[in-house]
A and B are shown apart, each in its own frame.
Chain A
């Protein structure tokens, strides 16, 4: 590891055990001033544990030492804010109902003291100045809930720097997957704010599953695997593939399973006729057995809404979805399921599973009646079958009576897939199926989807992950303002062609 002169952060020999599990093993981490450090690793590699040690949530084992801006750091870290360390989690911890100005002041105190009235005008001008300094172009009076996701993430970053300013000149911002729910263009905006922060002399630790973003924005990349630092590389000289190899400890081989031949698609499985929702506008298309159809577009072009309109989760303003034989799908999720169409929702933690229930209980929910015979719910049969499915879908560990919240994101998604694929549905609609999932699990999930397609299922993936769509789809529908702007088939589908098609009407095909 390169010697770092006068580092912002220098921790050594950080270890952490949970029971018999070594979450961190003698990790050394150094952060230069004004640097963006990409911290990557698979789910469960120790990234979160390391962050929680730095934020004072976890106490590391004895022997850990550290310095922050030249001052000794004692463990457990007490009041990281005073040391200049702030962590921004994925949920951002903003108050949606309050304005940008109110949110910016809420944690560091408004320009007032005690019970004296807040001087809102001064508060506002202070916020405006701060937002400008970081190049964040939002209306300070806007409700945070009304902002775009990228703007919300930027506001959270600005707020953290403001919070730290009251204690320290230089800061360390730890961003824990701030971009995982953002589309490419939105993530770019957040990354620009990160760069501005770093250019002002503060340091950033950027945690993300989106490796291309990490390679693009970070100066240096540290890779964790099984609680150890396995690589510390200059971002300018590395590639995504090399980082993945470090993360997995092996080459991933082909990053994606080979694309299916579009000629393999067969009879029509589902027809959408004139579907209209809030964004989706008079959209018609077919979905065939044996194909993987991608549906994409820029954020807000309708691909997030479409699967819910098709399955009766959200009532369409007009239009109808039918099976290939003409049967109407129905107006409720229950009716849609009876028609053999399954939706794997994008918001896993809200719609996909109930985190407080066990894996078995979640997996069996759609088919629970099968275990109810002679007026008795057979719990043993239920958990045996769930465990079998968990092994088939490579959930680690395959413990059926474990709460879903105890599994990592990738494993939770595999549980969701097990839940929905066990009935071998004819039509499978997947909304962002690999969101928040690490590279290894992503490949396994896509292999599962591919196998289902080869077995005859009709699959549609609704996603803004163009790279993934370019690699797995046999056909892609690109939406622009709720209408189909382009359709690409087979080898036409590349990340570039998709990106171009997403830009809208200028590239409209026919």
Chain B
């Protein structure tokens, strides 16, 4: 159809990015907020490097910081999958604990790595489907459903290990987490790989955009012909699977499992995911922002600890970051 005159006129400036003609000050004002988190990370590193050149500014410290966040990074990325659709999946830490427990028990019983994977995948799929069914089909709030699931699965994990802590396992499961490439253990590489995969899915496939529209404009998404229920369901299953596989990595890394460990992994991934949503694509949960946020948190905590802060700084920093991130996102949202 040809509505109301001058139909097919597409001028040449339509092809540019649109930013090119604007002065750099304007660009900074428009886009400065997007990179604020990167600037803060840089400022943290520079400050601590100058302050504590011998303790902070060393290769060993940087490796330690990065590797210490491998599990949290995987969980935070899992969290973004569901957060992007406007829901919560608080059960990921417990899914991880449960599959770490099943993995540890299978190793004790002499089971194969293949069995470990099959069981973990099954746990991920089943938990994801239950979450998805209750939330999408029945309509229970995702916060409540996954909070309940979190507690229930912690119980199941304790049952699986018979209320024991399992230590000192050996075998190929440890290799899965600990084998080193370029002096970084595999568990760190998994997180980096997942950042790339999720970046691709979120930014370069229609599905990533669909997740975002379902999170922000669910009715508009449905009327645009998206299968909203199926996509939400899928995101719960995907986040559970990532969490379940992370459980194998955790068991391999620890060489066992303490089934009570789950709740301690609850907050940090969400702090990172929310903080990450204030970077690069403001107000949108994204993979690259999340990894920047994780490194920002660990640099801050490590720096303060090296300066002599007590261990409690950890919790204060993570909790504070979560609240600040949400507050910042709100303020930015209001300004526009």
**A394 interface residue (CB < 8 Å to B):** yes
Beta-carbon nearest neighbor of A371 in chain B: B206
| B223 contacts A313, C-beta separation under 8 Å | yes
Q: Could you give, for residues 406-427 of chain A, a 1 whenever the CB lies within 8 Å of some chain B CB and a 0 otherwise?
A: 1000000000000101001000
Given A455-B1, A457-B1, also A353-B220 (CB < 8 A): yes
In the complex, which of the residues B1, B4, B206 contacts A394, with contact meaning CB atoms closer than 8 Å? B4
* Distance A368 CA – B224 CA, assembled complex (angstroms): 11
Interface centre among A333, A352, A371 (most CB of B within 10 A): A333
Q: Which residues of A contact B2 (CB under 8 A)?
A: 451, 455
One digit per residue, 1 when the CB lies within 8 angstroms of any chain A CB and 0 when it does not, for chain B 219-232 equals: 11111111100000
Which residue from B10, B18, B227, B283 sits with its C-beta under 8 Å from A388? B10
Q: Which residue of B lies closest to A402 (CB)?
A: B18
A187 adjacent to chain B (CB < 8 Å): no
| Chain B neighbourhood of A372, CB < 8 A | 205-206
Q: Is A317 an interface residue (CB 8 A)?
A: no
- How far, in Å, is B27 (CB) from chain A's closest CB? 13
Jot down 27 A-B pairs with beta carbons below 8 A, ordered by A.
A334-B225, A350-B217, A350-B219, A351-B223, A352-B223, A354-B217, A354-B220, A355-B217, A356-B283, A357-B212, A357-B216, A357-B217, A365-B213, A365-B221, A368-B209, A375-B204, A377-B204, A377-B206, A380-B15, A380-B17, A383-B18, A388-B9, A392-B3, A392-B7, A401-B18, A448-B3, A451-B3
A480 interfacial by beta-carbon distance below 8 Å: no
Interface on A for B, CB 8 Å cutoff? Answer: 313, 332-334, 336-338, 343, 345, 347, 350-357, 361-362, 365-366, 368-369, 371-372, 375-377, 380, 383-384, 387-388, 391-394, 399-401, 403, 405-406, 419, 421, 424, 444, 447-448, 451-452, 455, 457
**B227: A residues at CB distance < 8 A:** 332, 334
Question: Of the candidates A345, A352, A366, A400, which one forms a contact with B18 in the assembled complex, judged by CB atoms under 8 Å apart?
Answer: A400
Question: What residue of chain A has the Cβ atom nearest to residue B214's Cβ?
Answer: A354
**Cβ-based interface call for B20 (8 A):** no
Cβ-defined contact, A384 with B10, below 8 A: yes
Please name all residues of chain B whose beta carbon is closer than 8 Å to the beta carbon of A403 when the two chains form the complex.
336
A452 CB contacts on chain B under 8 angstroms: 1, 3
- CA distance in complex: A118, B115 (Å): 66
Partner among B11, B15, B224 whose Cβ is within 8 Å of the Cβ of A333: B224
* Minimum Cβ distance to chain B for residue A351 (Å): 5
Of all chain B residues, the one with the shortest Cβ separation from A348 is B220
B residues 256-278 in Cβ contact with A at 8 Å: none
User: Does B170 reach chain A (CB closer than 8 Å)?
Assistant: no
**B217 is contacted by which of A353, A366, A388, A391 (Cβ under 8 Å)?**
A353
Is the pair B213, A354 in contact by a Cβ cutoff of 8 Å?
Answer: yes
Q: What residues of chain A lie closer than 8 Å to B315, measured between beta carbons? A: none
Please give me the residue from chain B that is nearest to A353 by CB atom.
Answer: B220
For the complex, what is the distance from the CA of A145 to the CA of B166, rounded to whole Å?
Answer: 57
Q: In the assembled complex, which residues on chain A have CB atoms less than 8 Å from the CB atom of B204? A: 375-377
Residues of chain B lying within 8 A (CB to CB) of residue A380: 15, 17
A333-B225, A354-B216, A366-B225 as given contacts; A451 in contact with B1, CB under 8 Å: yes
Is B108 in the interface zone, CB < 8 Å from A? no
A/B pair count, beta carbons within 8 Å = 117
Q: How far is the CB of A400 from chain B (nearest CB, A)?
A: 7
Q: Is B331 an interface residue (CB 8 A)?
A: no
A419 nearest CB across to chain B (Å):
8
Residue of B nearest to A443 (CB): B4
A506 to chain B, nearest CB (A): 37
Interface residues, chain B, with chain A CB atoms under 8 Å away: 1-4, 6-11, 14-15, 17-18, 203-206, 208-210, 212-213, 216-217, 219-227, 283, 333, 336
Given contacts A334-B227, A452-B1, A455-B1, 10 further A-B contacts (CB under 8 A): A337-B224, A354-B217, A362-B220, A366-B225, A368-B210, A371-B206, A377-B204, A388-B10, A405-B336, A444-B4
A419 to B8, CA, bound (A): 16
Asked if residues B220 and A352 are in contact (CB atoms below 8 Å), the reply is yes
Most buried by A among B8, B9, B203, B209: B209
* Interchain nearest-CB distance for A418 vs B (Å): 9
| Closest A residue to B206 using CB positions | A368
Contact B336 A406 (CB under 8 A): yes
**Interface pair B216/A388, CB less than 8 Å apart:** no
One of A365, A383, A447 near B209 (C-beta < 8 A): A365
Distance A355 CA – B212 CA, assembled complex (angstroms): 12
Q: Report how far A448 CA is from B6 CA in the complex, Å.
A: 12
Q: Please give, as numbers and ranges, the residues of chain B lying within 8 Å of A375 by CB-CB distance.
A: 204-205
Once A351-B219, A356-B216, A448-B3 are accepted as A-B contacts, the answer to whether A384 and B15 lie under 8 Å apart by CB is yes
Contacts of A387 in B (CB 8 A): 10, 14
Q: Which of A351, A403, A405, A455 gathers the greatest number of chain B CB atoms within 10 Å?
A: A351
What distance in Å separates the Cβ of B241 from its nearest Cβ neighbour in chain A?
A: 21
CB distance from B282 to the nearest CB of A (A): 10
Residues of B within 8 A of A394 (CB): 4
Bound-state CA distance A120–B65 (Å) is: 61
Q: Which residues of the other chain, A, contact B222 by a CB distance below 8 angstroms?
A: 313, 333
Report the minimal beta-carbon distance from B263 to chain A, rounded to whole angstroms. Answer: 33
Q: Report whether B216 and A399 are in contact in the complex, using a CB–CB cutoff of 8 Å.
A: no
Taken together as a complex, chains A and B put the C-alpha atoms of A378 and B133 apart, in Å, by: 34
Q: Which residues of A contact B206 (CB under 8 A)?
A: 368-369, 371-372, 377
User: Inside 8 A of B216's CB, which chain A residues have their CB?
Assistant: 354, 356-357
User: Contact: A447 with B3, CB < 8 Å?
Assistant: yes
Cα(A393)–Cα(B2), bound, Å: 10
Chain B hits for A388, CB < 8 A: 8-10, 14
Q: Are A421 and B205 in contact (CB under 8 A)?
A: no
Q: Are B217 and A337 within 8 A (Cβ)? A: no
* Chain B residue with Cβ nearest A403: B336
Q: Is the CB of A451 within 8 A of B15?
A: no
Nearest-neighbour CB distance to chain A for B2, whole angstroms, equals 6
Residues in B whose Cβ lies below 8 Å from that of A457: 1
User: Are the C-beta atoms of A351 and B220 separated by less than 8 Å?
Assistant: yes
- Whole-angstrom CA separation of A246 from B283 in the bound complex: 41
Taken together as a complex, chains A and B put the C-alpha atoms of A401 and B22 apart, in Å, by 14
Docked Cα-Cα span, A277 to B213, in Å, equals 28
Chain B residues within 8 Å of A451, by CB: 1-4
Report Cα–Cα, A489/B8, bound state, in Å. Answer: 34
Distance (whole angstroms) from the CB of B221 to the closest CB of chain A: 7
Q: Are B10 and A393 in contact (CB under 8 A)?
A: no
When distances are taken between beta carbons in the complex, the residues of chain A under 8 Å from B223 are 313, 333, 343, 345, 351-352
Task: Give chain A nearest CB distance to B13 CB in angstroms.
Answer: 9
Docked pose: A452 CA to B7 CA in angstroms: 13
**Chain B residues positioned under 8 Å from A391 (CB to CB):** 6, 9-11, 14
Distance in angstroms between the alpha carbons of A278 and B15 in the assembled complex: 49
Instruction: State in angstroms the CA–CA spacing of A457 and B9 once bound together.
Output: 23
A334 touches B226 (CB 8 A): yes
Q: Give bound CA distance, A55 to B213, whole Å.
A: 34
**Chain A residues, Cβ within 8 Å of B3:** 392-393, 421, 447-448, 451-452
Q: How far is the CB of B218 from chain A (nearest CB, A)?
A: 9
Which chain B positions have C-beta within 8 A of A347? 219
Considering the complex, give the chain A residue whose CB is closest to the CB of B212.
A357
With A313-B222, A393-B3, A424-B1 known as contacts, the answer to whether A384 contacts B14 (CB < 8 A) is yes
Pick the 9 closest A-B CB pairs, nearest first.
A354-B217, A448-B3, A388-B10, A334-B225, A455-B1, A337-B225, A387-B14, A368-B206, A447-B4
Residues of B within 8 A of A400 (CB): 14, 18
B283 to chain A, nearest CB (A): 6
Chain A residues within 8 Å of B209, by CB: 361, 365, 368, 377
List chain B residues, Cβ under 8 A from A377: 203-206, 208-209
> Once bound together, how far apart are the Cα atoms of A399 and B205, in whole Å?
23
- Within the complex, what minimum Cβ distance (angstroms) separates B138 from chain A? 17
